[in-house]
Amino acid sequence: MVVVYFLFVLLALASSCAFASDPSPLQDFCVAVNDPNSAVFVNGKFCKDPKLAMADDFFFTKFRYPGNTSNQLGSKVTTAFVDQFPGLNTLGIAMARLDFAPYGLNPPHIHPRGTEMLAVMEGTLRVGFVTSNQLNNTLFTKVLTKGDVFVFPQGLIHFQLNIGQTNALAFAFLSSQNPGLITIANSVFASNPPINVDVLTKAFQVDNKLINYLQEQNWFDNH
């Protein structure tokens, strides 16, 4: 009897402590419609009849070849998110292959819905993330070489820079099938339509010539 009671208390404790984060919304937004005929989407996707699924649905070959890093950033990210790999739908996991030319950069960005683990296969990367305002915007940074792993907590700004004279290769693992991507410069300076110049001059405390200049740049998306 005492053992059963003890187990019950343990279970109750476990269930009250298990959820340390909000459930993932799985998509950028979900505008409610008052229409019973409206289809139910998961990540905006219908599900295939499970009886018709086959091995190919769970097979991905786009990581076989290096990404093309001949661009202004010197990096290319090949994603295996649910949009590229439909078999991931509802599984809560995704990957990316990151190729870097010498001194190539994967610029500061956010995954709003996924924590990321990065494992370096070749080369030397300077990586880092910045904590939220509540934790005083602290930079956590490391130099990674082959075999090293770093974790970027969900929703925090992070980056990877190849500091070596050779190509670098890394793989990322993300805790969502649809982690999302917000590249800071692209979102702020290349939104469509552009953010009002008055907003950006005040926000960054610079004159409007500099904001105009930044808004005129070609902000490359390396994905």
Q: 69 or 176, CB closer to ligand NAG?
A: 69
The structure tokens listed for 61 are 């070959």
Residues 25-84 that bind ligand NAG (CB under 6 A): 68, 70
Instruction: Tell me how far CA of residue 205 lies from CA of 12, 94, 187, 202, in angstroms.
Output: 52, 38, 18, 5
Pairwise CA distance, residues 165 & 102, whole Å: 5
Q: Which is nearer to ligand NAG, 73 or 94 (CB)?
A: 73
Contact with ligand NAG (CB under 6 A) among 16, 38, 61, 136: 136
Spatial strand order in the sheet of 182-183:
139-144, 125-130, 157-162, 105-110, 182-183
C-alpha closest to that of 78 among 91, 93, 66, 90? 66
Q: How far apart are CB 167 and ligand NAG at their closest, in Å?
A: 14
Name the minimum Å distance from CB 28 to ligand NAG: 28
| Nearest-approach distance from CB 8 to ligand NAG, in angstroms | 38
The minimum distance between CB 142 and ligand NAG, in angstroms, equals: 19
User: Residue 158 half-sphere exposure, CB side, CA atoms within 13 Å?
Assistant: 26
Minimum separation from the CB atom of position 71 to ligand NAG (A): 6
- Closer to ligand NAG by Cβ: residue 207 or 221: 221
The residue among 68 and 196 lying less far from ligand NAG, judged by its C-beta, is 68
Give 61 or 136: the residue with its C-beta nearer to ligand NAG.
136
* Other Cβ atoms closer than 10 A to 109: 22
Q: How many residues bind ligand NAG (CB under 6 A)?
A: 4
Closest CA relative to residue 174, chosen from 120, 129, 115, 106: 115
Q: Residues interacting with ligand NAG, by CB under 6 A?
A: 68, 70, 135-136
